[in-house]
Amino acid sequence: MAPVLDPSSTYWFTDADEFADASRDKTGAGYVYSRWANPTVDAFEAAVADLEGTEGAEAFASGMAAITSICLASCKSGDRIVAARQLYGGSHELLASILPRYGITAELFDVHDFDGIEAVLAGAKLLLCETIGNPRIEVADLPTLANLAQNAGVPLVVDNTFASPALCRPVELGATLSVHSATKFIGGHHDLLGGIACGDFEALRPVAELNREFGATLSPFNAWLALRGLVTLPLRVERACASALLVAEYLSGHARIDRVYYPGLDDDPSKPLADKLLGGQGGGTLGFDVAGGREAAARFQEALRLTRPAASLGGVHSLIVHAASITHTQLNADQLASIGIAEGFCRMSVGLEEPHDIIDDLRNALDETA
Ligand SMILES: *Cc1c(COP(=O)(O)O)cnc(C)c1O
């Protein structure tokens, strides 16, 4: 009934030939060494591949390990990646600062700038974007991007973390790989780090081979926890979407909130794409601008009692991050504006608490700090 947790790092053989064959093959029928393959990790990979509708999946120690492995497996020195500007901070850092040290460069475009992307795509090794992108919770037009990528013969890699396979299956929309931070919705309980890439065996093979030597592989225990998280994924996502919509609607009508970013709201620019690609759902994450700027938003965040100021998203607890005081502290108001973030911008991940308790908490914190 419950999946078997097999924490073994190695597997013993009685037959020398069998040991030699298995070691050469690394991921064949028998297990040899858990950096190469492990039964609990395999079970997790099979479950996520099933949810994403892909031939296979490859698990990693974290979402960043998955994204880094994909970039390194696809590129060598002198190669180029094209990416949407609406990227997770770690991915942005990887493309902007780390990969250039190894001769791999990236060109970033607004995710809706199809002309700009098309103009530079030929000869690039990857097109990278997020289904629902940071910071303004924008939905990417995946079929259009997949079309551009296919015409240029470039693999499209979609970070599907914010949507989860419960809302979107990017490979069915034309992506080559769909990648997740399993730390977020897939795990769902704030108790594991993990990553996973999903796609055809052919597309996954170089990524898996690279990571087998790099060793950023998922631990069996984290795979086991993530398998447990997956059982409730559709229910958790359904609840998070329903509650996030209520929260977004509440905040939209509040005098101290300048603007709400949520693809589930009728007047949100991403609503048509959410209708087309996410089954009309807006996801569990929303953004909003607290009036009064940096100080007001920081005080508001401190006054919350239920929603916790913490990094991460997609779990059972509601979490909030005030960008200007947590993730983008070095930027002044003008610099923040240039990347589309207001000084009072907060990103909130709506958890599984009673939605009216979440809203009461927001109301109290806004009133207390008015
Ligand atoms: C958290 C996150 C990552 C990084 O995943 P880790 O598991 O923290 O390494 C990548 N992309 C997105 C969209 C994320 O939210």
Q: What are φ and ψ of residue 4, in 5° steps? A: -80, 130
Instruction: For 311-325, give the DSSP string.
Output: S--SSSS-EEEEHHH
Predicted local confidence at residue 150, as pLDDT: 98
Please give the average per-residue pLDDT across 219-227, as a whole number: 98
pLDDT confidence of residue 22? 86
What does the pLDDT read at residue 357? 98
Whether pLDDT at 252 is above 90:
yes
For 13-45, the pLDDT digits (tens) are 999 988 888 888 766 667 999 999 999 999 999
Q: Is 176 close to ligand 1, i.e. is its CB under 6 Å away?
A: no
Report helix angle 233-252 to 220-231, nearest 10. 70
Q: Evaluate the omega torsion of the peptide bond into residue 135 and state whether it is cis, within 30 degrees of 0.
A: yes
Q: Write the CA distances from 363 to 126, 326, 370, integer angstroms.
A: 44, 22, 10
Asked if 240 and 351 touch (Cβ cutoff 8 Å), the reply is yes
Contact 211, 34 (CB under 8 A): no
Distance from Cα 249 to the centre of ligand 1, integer Å = 27
One of 88, 250, 261, 262 is an active-site residue; which one? 88
Look at the block and give the residue holding tokens 């991460």: 312
pLDDT of residue 28: 60
Q: Is 35 a catalytic residue?
A: yes
Structure tokens at 273: 């794409």
Are β-strands 177-181 and 156-159 bridged in parallel, bridged antiparallel, or unpaired?
parallel
Mutate-to-test residue for ligand 1 from 183, 285, 348, highest number of ligand atoms within 8 A of CB: 183
**From 136, 169, 184, 347, the catalytic residue:** 184
Distance CA 27, CA 82 (A): 32
Task: List Cβ neighbours of 339 (8 Å cut-off, separation of 6 or more).
Answer: 135, 328, 331
Nearest CA to ligand 1 atom 11: 88
Q: Is the sign of the CA dihedral 92, 97, 98, 104 positive or negative?
A: positive
| Prediction pTM value | 0.96
Segment 309-332, tens digit of pLDDT: 999 999 999 999 998 888 777 778
Domains along the chain with CATH numbers? 16-228 (3.40.640.10), 233-368 (3.90.1150.10)
The strand pairing partners of 132, in sequence order, are 139
Write down the pLDDT at residue 27. 62
For the CA of 130, the nearest atom of ligand 1: 13
Ligand 1 and 369: CB distance under 6 A:
no
For residue 188 and ligand 1, the question of a CB distance below 6 A is answered with: no
